Amino acid sequence: MPLSVEIDSQSGFCGGVIRAIGRAESFLEDHERLYSLGAIVHNEAELERLGRKGLVTIGMDSLADVPREEGESLLIRAHGESPVTYDIARELGYKVIDCTCPVVLRLQTRIREAYAALHSDGRDGQVVIFGKIGHAEVNGLVGQVRGDALVIENKSMLRQSIEEGKVRLEGPVEVFSQTTKSPSEYVEICALLRTEMARCKGMGEEEFEKTGLLKVNDTICSQVASRHAQLSRFAMEHDIIVFVSGKDSSNGKVLCELCRNVNIRTFHISSPEDVKRDWFRADDRVGICGATSTPKWLMEEVAEKILQENR
Ligand code: SF4
C-alpha cells in the first residue's frame, strides 16, 4: 500500500481561539490596525496571516510606548487577563475589545468566589492553581486574587512546595486547573495533595474527605479533555504522527507528548518546511494533528508537503 495521510478531524482551533480571531478579523474589515496584547494564538504562521490584515502584537511593557492614534483598540485574547491590565489599558486611552474565552471568564469568577469564601469568617484558606507559571491565562487567574494563589506546575513542584511550607496543609484549600492542562496529571496532583493534607490531620483519606477541607474544581476545558482521549487513539492508529503547533504553545507541548507516549514515531513541527523526507517509510499511514492553536489550513499544507515529498 502506498503512503497515506490523514488529518485529525478534531485538531485545530478551539472555540475560544475561533471566537477571538473572528472578532479581530471583523474589526479589521473597517479599521487599519488592531493591537493585540500578546499573541492572539501561539502559531507563527497564523500570526503572519493576521499581521498582513493589520493585527499588531504588543507586550505589556510596550503598551505605553507604541506610537498610536487616540482611541486605538486593544484586543484581550482568549487567555484572559488580570483586572489590573484592563485598568492600565483604559488609563492609556485604549478601547478594550475583550475576547476572553467564556470558559476562562467562568474560571476567573469561580476563583474570585472561592477566594472570598476561603477568607470569610476569619478563615485563612488557600487557592492552588495547577498551571504553567507565567502563562497568560495563569497570570490572569492569579490576578483575580491579587496574586494570593499558589501555582503548581507538576507533582515534583507540589512536593517541593509542601517541604518548603508553602502549602497550607491544614486547609481549607481549593484547587483549580488552567484550562489546557493534562486531565491525568491534574488527577495525580490532587491525589498527592489529598494524601498530604490527610497525613497532616492524622486522618485516613476517607475520613479526611468528609471534612471538606480540600475542594477540587474540575476546570480543564471540555474541548481539551475530550481531545486527550481521542488524540491518543488517533496516534495509536497511525504508523507515524506529525504534530503541528507553534513552539510556544503549551497546549501543543502537552498534546505532542501525549502522542509520543503512545507512538514513538511522533515528530513536532511548526511549518511544512520542517518536514524531513527520511522520517517516512513507503507504506506509512501518516497522521497529522495539532493543538488548539493550530490552524486547519496549516495542517493541510503539511499534508500536501508530505505527499509531494513521498511521490
Ligand atoms: S482551550 Fe477551551 S478554555 Fe481555553 S480558549 Fe480554548 S475553548 Fe476556551
Largest pairwise CA distance in the chain: 71
- Count of beta carbons in the 10 Å neighbourhood of residue 112: 15
Say whether both 262 and 305 belong to one domain: yes
Residue 70 has pLDDT above 80, yes or no: no
Distance CA 58, CA 39 (A): 8
Helical ranges in 204-249 per DSSP H: 205-211, 222-237
Report pLDDT digits (tens) over 119-153: 998 888 999 999 999 999 999 999 999 999 999 99
pLDDT at 57: 95
Cell numbers placing 98: 475583550
**Pair 108, 140: CB distance under 8 Å:** yes
Write out the residue range of the structural domain in which residue 257 sits: 4-12+223-309
For the domain that residue 141 is a member of, what is the CATH number?
Answer: 3.40.1010.20
**Ligand 1 atom having least distance to the Cα of 101:** 8
Left if phi > 0, otherwise alpha if psi is -120 to 50, otherwise beta: which for 291?
A: beta
Q: How many domains does the chain have?
A: 3
From 23, 138, 180, mutation site for ligand 1 pocket: most ligand atoms within 8 A of C-beta: 180
Q: How confident is the prediction for the chain on average, in pLDDT?
A: 93
End-to-end C-alpha distance for the chain, whole angstroms: 13
Report pLDDT digits (tens) over 221-278: 988 888 888 999 999 999 999 999 987 777 788 899 999 999 999 999 999 999 999 9
Q: Assess whether the C-beta atom of 103 lies below 6 angstroms from ligand 1.
A: yes
Q: Ligand 1: distance of its center to the CA of 222 in Å? A: 8
147-161, 165-179, 242-256, range with the lowest pLDDT: 242-256
The pLDDT-based confidence of 170 (bands split at 50, 70, 90) is very high
- Count of beta carbons in the 10 Å neighbourhood of residue 71: 8
| 209 in active site | no
Say whether both 188 and 139 belong to one domain: yes
Of residues 141 and 45, more confidently modeled:
141
Say whether both 121 and 135 belong to one domain: yes
Exposed (0-12), middle (13-18) or buried (19+): which is 244, by Cβ within 10 Å?
A: buried
Q: Which of 137, 185, 196, 301 is the catalytic position?
A: 137
Peptide bond into 172 cis (omega under 30): yes
**Ligand 1 atom having least distance to the Cα of 78:** 5
Domain boundary at 100, 124, 146, which? 100
Domain boundary at 58, 73, 100, which? 100
**Pair 63, 37: CB distance under 8 Å:** yes
> Sign of the CA dihedral 88, 89, 92, 95?
negative
Say whether both 96 and 107 belong to one domain: no
User: Considering only CA atoms, which of 144, 204, 196 is closest in space to residue 173?
Assistant: 196
